[in-house]
């Protein structure tokens, strides 16, 4: 029985040694510094990552809740685009407090270059009797 007791004693010492070594390693390992995400400075990436694409579309890609921004650079100047992003308006919420200034600048630059012409909507031609012709 003394061999069994010696075996358990040796096993206990090994477990304690491993536990002490693990605790010492955890204490001596330096904590990794918190990594702060770099602001997004690429316009198309900022448009996607900021969530703009959830409500707006550009060139057929994106949501339909807000207006199509494919030609916003033709309609609005940079300061108006920035004001809309910062302060919102109509049904759009303000994002001035939610987005870093570098990201807002990237969005303004990108959107000001979105200058696609909007297709004209064809109105149906009036019929001879003055009523609108059906498209059937």
Can you list the domains of the chain with their CATH numbers? Answer: 43-112 (1.10.760.10)
Q: Which contacts (CB < 8 Å, 24+ apart) does range 41-48 have?
A: 41/102, 41/103, 41/105, 41/106, 42/106, 43/106, 43/107, 43/109, 43/110, 43/111, 43/113, 44/110, 45/106, 46/103, 46/106, 46/107, 46/110, 47/107, 47/110, 47/111
- 85, 106, 109: which is closest to 96 by C-alpha? 85
Q: Which range has the worst mean pLDDT, 14-28, 36-50, 56-70, 121-135? A: 14-28
**How much is the pTM?**
0.60
Q: Which range has the worst mean pLDDT, 15-19, 38-42, 69-73, 75-79? A: 15-19
Task: Output the average pLDDT for the chain.
Answer: 78
What is the average pLDDT across 84-89? Answer: 94
Q: Read off the pLDDT band of 119 (50, 70, 90).
A: low
What is the average pLDDT across 11-35? Answer: 53
């Amino acid at each position: 029985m003394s061999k069994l007791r010696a075996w358990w004693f040796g096993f206990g010492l090994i477990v304690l040694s491993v536990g002490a070594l693990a605790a010492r390693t955890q204490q001596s390992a330096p904590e990794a510094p918190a990594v702060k995400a770099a602001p997004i400075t690429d316009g198309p990436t900022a448009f996607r990552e900021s969530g703009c694409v959830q409500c707006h579309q550009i060139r057929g890609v994106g949501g339909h809740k807000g207006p199509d921004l494919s030609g916003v650079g033709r309609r609005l100047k940079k300061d108006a685009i920035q004001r809309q992003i910062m302060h919102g308006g109509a049904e759009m919420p303000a994002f001035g407090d939610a987005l870093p200034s570098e990201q807002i600048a990237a969005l303004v630059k990108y959107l000001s270059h979105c200058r696609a012409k909007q297709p004209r909507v064809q109105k149906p031609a009036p019929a001879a009797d003055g009523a609108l012709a059906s498209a059937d």
